[in-house]
Structure 1
Amino acid sequence: MTLRPMRYRDKSQWTQVRAENREWLDPWEATLPNIPAGSPAYEDSSVRPTFFQMVSLFRREARAGRSYSFLIWHNENLVGQITMGGVTYGAMRGAHIGYWIDKNFANRGFTTQAVELISEFGFTQLGLHRIEINVRPENDASCRVAEKAGFEFEGFKKAFLHIDGAWRDHKCFVKTNELIR
């Protein structure tokens, strides 16, 4: 298993894997809340970035040190994606991790290994102190990933993220880097 940044030439594989896994992933996918069209915060939730815009955004965010997104590969197979986002320095020195896995490669340790790798990157290369994984309580498999990767359950976050069309509660798992004092 390897992690590597998304490239423009990954478009066909990424699009195919995402299409094949739409039903599997939909209950866990982030969505945009409905904001009135006249509001200054309005975003048209029907407009999605193109694949090329997404890759460009990921590259820009990584160069700025705010977010790092990687595709998860097993041999020549694209099996998922993992992102360490919300990177904050200063007194907090933290981030959060999100991921998805192809249903054909679930329960084989790839996600746990990817979480361990990106956490190590965050702790050793970025000097982060705290990394969170926030999971819907009913997503038992994802809760197990966090626990197997050494994250500890910290508590519940009420209506934390807009997922699958509604504000959803999440379980918060945390891992800290004790070398950062």
Structure 2
Amino acid sequence: MALLDWMTDATGPVVEGRGVVLRPPRIGDYAAWADLRESSRDYLQPWEPAWPDDDLTRAAYRRRLTVYAREMELGNAWPFFVLDPTGRTLYGAITLSNIRRGVAETGTLGYWIGRPYAGEGHGTAAVKAMSRHAFRQLKLHRLEASCLPSNAPSRRVLEKSGFRLEGEARAYLKINGAWADHLLFGLLSEDAERAEQRSS
């Protein structure tokens, strides 16, 4: 995929989940993204890296899309927006990043849901859909995710999506300006497959 194609209208996989659609961000999504992030600022900031001063500007958004395009072309990451089934309402975002091939076949999940849509199951639906895509289409063997011990909603999303708590890492990521301990979770492809067979 050429960078020019990405900047004009993103192409890439569209992943359907239960009540959500995942697809790559587009230039035309800027206003909806900036509005949702701004209205959710106080809700999201305690769980995320510190936001740069220009984080919600159009120029920063374009830079973000440029990075996304490079990562997708290299197969290192798959950044998706989480939308309603019609594709008109932006709920949040989910990214499969740090993809390691070879003996690992592993990737890391990160996600956020805007305050107006939190607690409605969209995060869980997005994680399940992305996990299915990672295992079936990308042929990964393992997914990893983490959250702050105090972030009970994020922990519930991971547990409902089949992830198992595997440990705790001290000063794992710099969150909101300070190094923070994180709970570490993992999901194997065979565990996800068994869970899906039981629920069908």
- The TM-score bracket by the shorter chain reads 0.7 to 0.9
User: Which residue of 22, 25, 42 maps to 2:44?
Assistant: 25
Give, in angstroms, the shift of residue 47 of structure 1.
6.8
Equivalent in the alignment of 2:61: 51
Equivalent in the alignment of 2:34: 15
Q: SS of the counterpart of 2:190?
A: coil
Q: What amino acid maps onto 1:173 in structure 2?
A: F
Q: What amino acid maps onto 1:65 in structure 2?
A: G
Equivalent in the alignment of 1:71: 81
Give, in angstroms, the shift of residue 92 of structure 1.
0.7
Q: What amino acid maps onto 1:62 in structure 2?
A: M
| Alignment pair present for 1:177 and 2:176 | no
Q: Structure 1 stretches (4+) deviating beyond 4 angstroms?
A: 45-49
Unaligned ranges ≥5, structure 2: 1-19, 192-200
TM-score by length of 1: 0.88
Equivalent in the alignment of 2:141: 129
| Alignment pair present for 1:81 and 2:100 | no
- Please give the per-residue CA displacement for 1:129-164, whole angstroms capped at 9, x wherever unaligned: 110110000000000000000001101011100001
Give the distance between the partners of 2:102 and 2:139, measured in 1 at CA: 11
Q: SS of the counterpart of 1:111?
A: helix
CA RMSD of aligned residues (A): 1.6
| Alignment pair present for 1:111 and 2:123 | yes
Q: Which of the two has greater helix per residue?
A: 2
Q: What amino acid maps onto 1:61 in structure 2?
A: E
Taking every aligned residue pair, what percent have the same amino acid on both sides?
Answer: 35
Q: SS of the counterpart of 1:72?
A: strand
Q: Paired residues, what number? A: 167
TM-score by length of 2: 0.79
Task: Evaluate the alpha carbon distance shift between residue 14 and residue 47 of structure 1 in structure 2; reply closer, same or farther with a 3 A threshold.
Answer: closer
Q: SS of the counterpart of 1:150?
A: coil
Q: Is the 8 A contact 2:47 2:176 kept in 1?
A: yes
